[in-house]
Amino acid sequence: MKAIVRVYLYDDAGNRFFGEGPYRLLMGVERLGSLKKAADGMGMAYTKALAMVRRAERELGFALTEKVIGGKSGGGSYLTPQAKEFLRKYESYRDACYEADAAIYRQVFSEQ
């Protein structure tokens, strides 16, 4: 038996707008320089990926990706500095939760 914790960010109306899905998508954009490629890599439709990014942007109040038009590679997307800062905060939050919760698990279920 082991514990798995999932962390999510919700808007004030109670709708989820961020978690591991959008996080992995944006990490893909950072790595691949393209929202399309990042979505493909997750087996996700581009339209769904775009909606996911727009949804988070609306709640956060800043752009997460910017488009590069044309160029040698035929264009793509990159993360804004604010997106990178937000992703680092999300990682800090998530990883600290995982660590704290693992310690709590060991404490509560140690006799199990």
Binding site for a copy of itself (CB under 8 A): 1-12, 16, 59-60, 89, 92-93, 96-97, 100-101, 104-105, 108-109, 112
We find the least distance from the C-beta atom of residue 9 to a copy of itself, in angstroms, to be 6
Identity of the residue, 73 or 112, whose beta carbon is nearer to a copy of itself in the bound complex:
112
CB-based contacts of 102: which residues, under 8 Å, 6+ apart? Answer: 3
- 30 or 101, CB closer to a copy of itself? 101
Quote the least distance from Cβ 79 to a copy of itself, whole Å: 17
Q: Render the burial of 80-112: b for 16+ CB within 10 Å, e for the rest.
A: eeebeebbeebeeebeeeeeeeeeebeeeeeee
